[in-house]
Amino acid sequence: MAVDLLTALALLLVLEGILPFLNPAGMRRTLLQVAQLNDRSLRIAGLVAMLLGAGLLYLLRQ
């Protein structure tokens, strides 16, 4: 289980690093837009991301 967790963490770091590596200016613009979102919109986006991730994980682990 620890290996799976570390693998997931490594994949997360790779995916998170793609956008700033390929397009740092675009990443900066995106972060500025996200910083201007109100708390409710940001929470909803986070909830949707968690539910999609949990659903995908469930489908992959069946």
pLDDT in the model for residue 27: 96
5 lies in some domain: no
16 lies in some domain: no
38 lies in some domain: yes
Mean pLDDT for the stretch of residues 39-62: 95
pLDDT in the model for residue 12: 95
28 lies in some domain: yes
Mean pLDDT for the stretch of residues 15-43: 96
Buried/exposed 18-35: b ≥16 CB within 10 Å, e otherwise: eeeeeeeeeeeeeeeeee
- The DSSP string of 22-56 is H-HHHHHHHHHHHHTS-HHHHHHHHHHHHHHHHHH
Where residue 1 falls among pLDDT bands split at 50, 70, 90?
confident
Instruction: Give residue 50's Cα distance to chain centre.
Output: 9
2 lies in some domain: no
Residue 30: which residues within 8 A CB-CB, separation 6 or more? Answer: 19
pTM above 0.85, yes or no: no
Print the domain residue range for 32: 24-62
Domain count, the chain: 1
